[in-house]
Amino acid sequence: MTDLHTNKPADTVTDEDTVWVQEIAFIDSVPRWIAMTFVFVVFIGTWQLVTSLGLVSPIILPTPMETLKDMIFVGTNLLSGGYMLGALWITIKEVIYGFALAIAIGFSLGVLVGETAFGEKAVMPYLVAIDTMPKVAFAPLFVAWLGFGIESKVALAAFIATFPIVVGTAAGLHAADENARMLFKTMGASRMQTLIKMKLPTGLPQIFTGLKIGAVGVMAGAITGEFLGGGKGFGELIRVAASQLNTPRVFSLILYLSLVGLALYLIVQWTQRKVVFWHKERVGAGDY
């Protein structure tokens, strides 16, 4: 094949022979919002089709219209300060307290494990062991210890969110390379200085990754806590609606709840962009 080309006199080589056109995949030329809208429309279309053809019982899957109507109802209730807003506020409080607690405990344990030989040798194995347990199974214990109020939900939410923060912090503290460590040693830096001025800033991207995973977990923890431990939060509304087979209500409640989760995630991400300004995140998963 190459012979064919090289044996040709130079002047007979046409453009068609020499130009290698870079093919551009169709999807690369489509703006993201169009692609996302496309998926959304297909999803809603399929949903409408499945329900209007009567393939699924309306108790199991309401129509998109019913769901939308209920979302407007719930939205109105929330905006007018109805009982749902009170429930949502309780859940938001659980999430905030849980997350704050998880950050405080997770970060401290992460430093202990990531910075000290004792922590790494003696504490880490226990953390790994607890982390592999199904943590929601502890929910009844938290209820027994802390009662049916928000404390037991805060505890479960914090419990679930702590581990990714520990792991993120510990990994972050190990992220500094040999050269940076040696450099700090040559500058005569104390252990504290090395930790604060070098290891922690170097590890911030990993720490924020842990925080983001924790932010997702804290939401799951609070709602699971409400499912299993009662109370007056949003999870309780979902549970009641589900027990009444009010599926449109369940759907719209979940949707509003996910907005809270998304908001928390975006707050963490925004903070990350401000704090870790030098670290360019890869565009893709997790990058809205």
Q: Which is nearer to another protein, 61 or 183 (CB)?
A: 183
Contact residues for 236 (Cβ-Cβ < 8 A; gap 6+): 87, 226, 230
282 contributes a contact to another protein by CB under 8 A: no
> Considering beta carbons, is residue 198 or 237 the nearer one to another protein?
198
- Span interacting with another protein, options 28-36, 153-161, 210-218, 276-284, rule CB under 8 A: 276-284
Is there binding between residue 15 and another protein (CB under 8 A)? no
Closest alpha carbon to 254 in 266, 267, 241: 241
Q: How far apart are CA 88 and CA 123, in angstroms?
A: 37
Q: Minimum CB separation from another protein for residue 205, in Å?
A: 11
By CB under 8 A, residue 244 contacts another protein: no
For the window 167-196, what string marks contact with another protein as x by the rule CB under 8 A? ----------x-xx-xxxxxxxx---x---
- How many residues lie near another protein (CB under 8 A)? 20
Site string for another protein, 192-231 (x = CB under 8 A): -x---xx--xx-----------------------------
279 binds another protein (CB under 8 A): yes
Binding site for another protein (CB under 8 A): 177, 179-180, 182-189, 193, 197-198, 201-202, 277-280
